[in-house]
């Protein structure tokens, strides 16, 4: 069975996230979503998530097109790739964290994983940072 893997924080779930997952699912029979750990999210984004890693994983797991939702590795962000061995890794249009070493990890572990970049969904409206700014301005 062909598998596609997507990585993300998925805090404050929105239509842009749903579109990303639906796009990714079109590439394979099985969609595995890797939800970023709280500690890693804070390090990358400079602030904590609204929802905990487990809350975000549970929310993602209830989306119809998602076959499996897992938390990212605690010490090694790439460990889940080596464990699950996806056929495809689908990146968001603006995803940059940990992408630079992705090809190196794939080739050095003799995986045959293809890396693709998905299209944005109304990025001026459905981007987590923009949505959080709007929410905070209303408080």
Give whole-number Cα distances, 123 to 8, 16, 42, 117, 130, in Å: 16, 8, 22, 15, 9
- Nearest CA among 130, 99, 127 for reference residue 17: 127
Of 25, 26, 47, 101, which is the active-site residue?
Answer: 47
Instruction: Specify whether 114 is catalytic.
Output: no
Token reading at 29: 């029979």
Q: Are 31 and 21 in contact (CB under 8 A)?
A: yes
Is 47 noted as a catalytic residue in this protein?
Answer: yes
> How big is the chain by its Cα radius of gyration, in Å?
15
Q: 61: closest CA among 51, 52, 71?
A: 71
Residue the block writes with tokens 């968001």: 92
Catalytic residue among 30, 45, 84, 132: 45
* Active site positions, annotated: 45, 47
């Amino acid at each position: 069975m062909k598998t596609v893997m997507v990585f993300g924080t998925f805090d404050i779930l929105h239509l842009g996230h749903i579109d990303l997952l639906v796009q990714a699912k079109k590439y394979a029979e099985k969609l595995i979503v890797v939800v970023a750990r709280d500690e890693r999210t804070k390090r990358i984004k400079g602030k904590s998530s609204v929802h905990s890693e487990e809350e975000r994983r549970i929310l993602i797991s209830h989306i119809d097109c998602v076959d499996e939702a897992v938390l990212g590795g605690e010490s090694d962000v790439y460990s889940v790739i080596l464990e699950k061995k996806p056929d495809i890794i689908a990146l968001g249009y603006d995803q940059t964290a940990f992408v630079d070493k992705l090809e190196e990890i794939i080739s050095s572990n003799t995986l045959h994983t293809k890396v693709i970049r998905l299209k944005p969904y109304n990025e001026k409206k459905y981007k987590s940072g923009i949505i959080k700014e709007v929410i905070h301005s209303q408080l």
